Each structure stands twice: as structure tokens, then as C-alpha cells.
Structure 1
């Protein structure tokens, strides 16, 4: 009896086909679900997008007095529900509604403008712009070594030889000088940088009733240029005149060439206005004027 039962046992070697069929069925179902998810309903997506735009553009208190046609939603508290199953139909109000991203871009541009206004590097850029304009305008005089343009992080210097500006011993500007200062004024009046005009002479003494020393001559020349620039539109509060006389030479006064280099006028354009420190004097017996 025992031998017969063992002989009746039959082993099925093809059971793996059942598991394989189940796996294939599940895999097919998975790809069907993935395909159905990948299909986006454009109309429903458009309705959802318009709903968000309308929600973020609710009229503020300053818009409550606007015309009804200008308001996106007549109620500030309730958003009208939209049937997501229907085809989206864009209303004129929704077409005219500004994008949230556009509004954010406008705010970012405004913040960038303010940051640029207070950025110290902007002033350095202004000096570079003025330098480029002067170099372009007076390229021929620069090549003839009658005008020199140099700068650092605080100042832009425009140096002119006095031979093209004034006659000997005079502070009256020549016609060529007036044309030069017309161009310089046209450039400077477009900016707000402070401007200091400096006059220099050689060491040859001058003794006239109008200019007893080179101090007076150099100061008079600087003042004449300042006055001329104001007549051409440069704000007078930006300008100052300084006369150094013969005491800041750039070359030796022993030769004619060196003295010619020392007779010059420098227009100094500052990066920013430097306020002078105010004296805080307390009444005392030593500083009371009697």
C-alpha cells in the first residue's frame, strides 16, 4: 500500500508559468496606469492656472473704488468656484489680469534700481563714463598732448595746458577755451559729481595791478572757468575754484618746456561729496571775541 501511494505522486514542473503570467499581468497594468497619468487635460490645466491667477490678484483696498469692469472679482472674500470638468472659457477680465510672475518681476526691478542708486560702485562707473566721454570728445587734443585725462578710485582729472586757454598774464578765456569748456559743461551737467577747478602757474613772478602774484592769477583763472561752467548749465553748488600758484609744479621750472607744463588748469571730478567736519566750539575765555 505504501509503495502504491508513492508511485501515484505526480510533480508538476511547469508551475513557474503561473507566476510568470501573474507578473506579466501586473506589469501591463502598471504601464497602463503610467500612460493614463501622463495624459494631461489641457482645458483642466488652463482652468486651474486661471484660478490661481485670479486668487493672487484680488483687489486691494486702494482698488475698491475702481470701476466694476476693472475688478477681477467683485467680492474680496469669496472666490467663485469653477467646475473643473467643463471646458475653460477665458473671460475678458482674466485676459487682462496681469501675471503674478510679471508683478514679481516689476518689484524686483524696482528693488534693483534702489540698490543701484545706493551702490557706491555706481559712482565709480560715473567717473568711468565721464572719462570715456571726455577722451572721445578731445581725442585730437589728447594726441597733441594739450589735454590729459587720468583717474583713480576717488577722482577724475582733466588737465589742460593754459596755452590753449589764456593769453600770458591774463584770466580771460580764449575762443578755443570757450569751445572746450562748452563741451566739458555739456558732459558734466548730466551728472551730480562735485567738480573742483584748480589753477597752476610757473615760477616766473608777475607783478601787475590786477594780479600782484601768481596766487591771484591762478585763482582768477580757476574762478573764470567756474563762472563759465555755471553759465552753461553746471549747477554752481557743485563747483569750487582753487589757486595753487607756482607751488605745485609737475616739472622743473629751469627750462621753457618744464615751465610750459606747469602752466595748466586741472578740472577734478570727485567720486562723491565730502562734507567738511563742523567745529564744535564751546564758549571759553580763549575763544570769545571781545
Structure 2
């Protein structure tokens, strides 16, 4: 009895387990909205940059291009359909003005075709002749350098021959031991006079025009002198021109005499190198 009474007197304990449930993320719609916002901002800043980078005339041209009020051209495109254009039936219903047929229906003029072929043959013949002429000049200058190498290695070291889009370039280059001009001056040395005498003899074997350009290294004058490398290179080119004229070269063959200072060195790695001080003679073959 007592045991039953003690069991009945014990309280009943109910344990409730509380479960914490995380809230939902509501899907990924916000990511799409954010991506659209970033794209719109990028397009806006790109538009602002383009507006700042273009001129007023360019902006006006863009505005005219997108302006729908600008009238279309009144000149027919060959048909009477929309926008004065053509349709799939244009070949069957040709415009009465005679401009509606396509290239497949048109007839090529035999006279114009023959003239085009004749002009093409003449152009090919001229190109072949020009290439042959350039090769002959290169062979002549190559023979000059070879003969100088056999006679005097000192002279051959000052001659370089290369090709350019304008023609054949003959470079009279300086060396540390044997300069073509005194430092900072445009008075030719005896070596340059001898070289130009030999070059002028080769020039007598062809009738091409030529150009003379003077070049210097990157060393400049001190104390901000008014006379600089531009003046020096031009004076040296003119000195070479005068020496060639004394040898009997026709002055009408001289197309150009210029000074380029140190803007076109032969040795880019060392702008102060001796070979950058030179006289360039371009025999024009174009």
C-alpha cells in the first residue's frame, strides 16, 4: 500500500525538446537583382567615359545615326519595295530605270575587261622591271664593297648595304678609330672624301634618284647650346651632297637631303655607339 501511494505521489515530468529551425534564405532572387544593378552601373560609367572621350562632332554623328527623324535617301536602291530596296522578286520585276538587275544579270563590257587585263599586264611588267633594276643596283653596290674588301679592309668596314621599302640603302658608318667627321663638326675627313669618290663611280652605272640623310649618336652639346644634333646631322648630309656634286653627280637626281639626329640609330642597345654616326644614301627604286 505504501509503495503504491509513493508511486502515485511522484510528479510526472514532461520534457519538451525545443528545436531551433533556421530561417529560409528566400531563394537567390536577390543575387539576380544585384547582378543587374552592377551591370547597369558598369554600363553607366562606360557611357560617361565614352562621352568624355569623344569630341562634339563625334557625339553629333552618333546622335544623327540613332535619330529616327532623319529622312532616308531618295535615291533608289534598285527596287520599289520598302526603303527603296529590293525583294526576292526584283530579278523578275526589274526597275525600269535599268539599275535593278544584279551582277548575275548584268553584262560586262568587253572593252573595259580588255583594258583592265592590259593594265594588269603592264603593272606586272613594271613590277618585274623594278625588281630587276633593284637587284642590278644591289649587285653593283655589292661588287663595290667586295672590291673595297680586297683592296682595303679599312674602307670596307665603313660600308653597309641593306634593303628598305623605298629602295637600297648604302650606309657610310663611323668607327671609333676612323671617324668620318670630327666630333661635333660637319667637316668631312679624308676617309669620307675617298669613300664618296668610290660611291659616285657606282652611281654612274644607274640613273635612279637618291636621298641623303645624316645621323648622329645621342651625345649632345653642353650648356644647352642652340646648335644641336639636328643641325649637325643636317650639315653633315649637306656636306655629303656637296662632295657628290663635285664628282659630277647630276643634282636633279637628289630627291631629298635631311638630318635625323639620333632618332634612327643602327645600334638601339647603345645609342652612343660609333656606327650610329653615319651618312645614309637611299637609292630609290619604288
Give the structure-2-normalised TM-score.
0.47
Give the structure-1-normalised TM-score.
0.47
